[in-house]
A and B are shown apart, each in its own frame.
Chain A
């Protein structure tokens, strides 16, 4: 197991999530894509921590990423609820009011 191998796996996870976040229409599925991207970030951060500098700083960074996931999930669910209530739909295509 090398740093490069872990980083490639993390990059693959990140890019699968990126594909999902860009291609899905349902808000909750877009959130799943974002979660998968953060999953890749967590793996990469853990690999950097383990292979380069195994100090507590890296663990704190991981905690911050996990906190970011929590915030993303909570706000995503709240926005999905609001969207569903106001538009009767949970599709991103029905919430394009701010698009150019």
Chain B
């Protein structure tokens, strides 16, 4: 009974702050609202005894939202907390699609005859996760690792204003670039 009450409170917080992300009139507040939603879901994960995953979800998302707030201030060129904004398009169809998807998913959740629980959780869930990662599920992590590395490289290439091999750009007649640091293709 107590777990149901705690779950309901956390679920309402997660959902309300999730809705607030797209309702509040500033991007900074939207970022904080999303962080609250993630913290509530992280707390729900802790209710499922997923200590490790719950904690990394909370820590990672709080940091991510901090970075997101910085990006917003960078790109918007103003103090987003003070600047009301509403930048939406296709609002009606988006709402119709979202409600339709919710009805479909909620209907499925209620109508599917879910099987009974098989097995019981390990005594130390974090240790069992570590053993799985280093044992039978190592291939998963071996796949995730290069993907994360490729993401780092790809993100740097995209975000870099001028890469090592495009100093001259498409225009071969362009003037020699004035590099702050010498030694590249521009010498």
Contacts and interface: CB of A to CB of B under 8 A. Distances in A.
Interface in A1-43: 1, 3-9, 11-20, 22-26, 28-29, 31-33, 35-36, 39, 42-43
A6 B93 CA distance: 27
A81 B19 contact: no
Nearest to A16: B18
A23 B30 contact: no
Contacts of B155: 74-75, 77-78
A2 to B, nearest CB: 8
Nearest to B88: A23
Contacts of B106: 7-8, 11-12
Contacts of B94: 18-19, 22-23
Interface in A45-68: 46-47, 49-57, 59-60, 62-64, 66-67
Contacts, number: 223
A77 B41 CA distance: 23
Nearest to B4: A1
A13 B14 contact: yes
Contacts of A33: 21-22
Contacts of A67: 144, 147-148
Contact-residue size bin, chain A (C-beta under 8 Å from the other chain): 35 or more
A25 B56 CA distance: 30
A66 B55 CA distance: 12
Contacts of B97: 18-19, 22
Contacts of A80: 71, 75
B118 A29 contact: no
Interface string B48-80: 111011001100110010011001100110000
A64 B22 contact: no
Nearest to B22: A20
Contact of A71 (B52, B67, B151): B151
Contact of A78 (B57, B93, B114, B159): B159
Given A24-B22, A56-B131, A19 B98 contact: yes
A51 B48 CA distance: 9
25 contacts: A1-B7, A4-B109, A5-B4, A12-B106, A16-B22, A19-B98, A23-B91, A26-B87, A36-B37, A39-B18, A39-B38, A46-B44, A46-B53, A47-B48, A49-B50, A53-B117, A59-B129, A60-B129, A66-B57, A67-B147, A71-B148, A74-B151, A75-B154, A79-B158, A82-B159
Interface of A: 1, 3-9, 11-20, 22-26, 28-29, 31-33, 35-36, 39, 42-43, 46-47, 49-57, 59-60, 62-64, 66-67, 69-71, 73-75, 77-82, 84-85, 90-91, 93
